[in-house]
Homo-oligomer: A and B are copies of this chain.
Amino acid sequence: MTKTKVAVVGASGYTGEELVRLLLAHPEVDLVTATSRQLAGKTLAEVFPRFAHHRAATALKFSVSDPRQVAHDASVVFLALPHGLAAEFAKPLLTSGARVLDLSADFRIKDPNVYHEFYGHDHPAPDLLPKSVYGLPEIYRDQIKGAQLVACPGCYPTSILIPLRPLIRRKAIDRKTILVASMSGVSGAGRKVEADYLFPECNESVRPYGVPKHRHLSEIEQELSILAGERITIQFTPHLVPVNRGIISTIYADIASNVVNLDPAVMFSGAYTDEPFIRLLGEARLPDTKNVAGTNFIDIAWKIDKRTNRIVVMSAVDNIVKGASGQAIQCMNLMLGLPETAGLI
């Protein structure tokens, strides 16, 4: 059987590199294209020595990204480009019939005004927004299967939306009281060559950032509002911590006043028991990024605090796997009718 040919556009950053890692090992697809302006001409093996044993990594050279060529060579294209650029690149790809999984923010926000508010420029392709599906399989599995354009969620949103969904759906919490404190590893900043991300600036450092209005709020609130059927505004504070990979999101909300005897175990199990990438830790254990690093899992735990009548839900994901590249491949598997876990477990 011929394997599906896939391309990674913008393969030089951390999410691009992780896509390459996962696609090289994926049993059902062939990575035929990897683009990067600055790395063009070098083989994957030269740039990423950790993949040097893969024959494909030795054979495949980075190319300059030309949409028509990419669409000619591959039928599935991952875009790991900066926002703005991604939408520009998606247009000709979609016209050419390629299926596109975009890892930037460009197709996540349904409302171009919100996009402008959070990203500071006009949306480059607002007409494409209605076509895009938000690539969170735990919510949009069916729509993803038939989508031509998937907007892969941000890392923080993934770690927050999956735990909150059952609570919102079951009206278990007071929607005005949702507050999230997240801690992310430094790869979340991308392979951005800025002084703030040098080793001596991040090591032995813990710091909040993006307070009070981080860009990911736009998609978190959009998706929570869709789930709730009404406008939801939340508090969200990310912190940078010195690990390579991993996000902990600690989520707080008041238990809704009309809810008695909330049993989160029943609620979470009911919602997620068959999900291949959700591991429910229950009340006995707490999440730890080291248990999900390098994997596509999200670990979820919870505690009810009777003193304050709040529920505390805690999740752990690898920001560049379940929070980005792994989840994109999970979506691709759905789009191609492959087992959802193919190449991911």
Contacts and interface: CB of A to CB of B under 8 A. Distances in A.
Return the 9 tightest CB-CB contacts between A and B, nearest first.
A181-B181, A212-B305, A199-B202, A207-B288, A186-B199, A50-B291, A205-B290, A206-B289, A241-B241
A234 to B, nearest CB: 8
A279 interface: yes
A289 B207 CA distance: 7
Interface of A: 14, 49-50, 52-53, 179, 181, 183, 185-187, 191-195, 197-209, 211-213, 233-235, 237, 239, 241-248, 250, 252, 276, 279, 281, 285-295, 297, 299, 303-305, 307-308, 310, 312, 314, 316, 345
A310 B213 CA distance: 12
- Copies of this chain, complex-wide, total 4
Nearest to A293: B204
B50 A289 contact: no
B191 A198 contact: yes
Contacts of A303: 211-212
B250 A181 contact: yes
A276 B52 CA distance: 12
A222 to B, nearest CB: 14
A208 B314 contact: yes
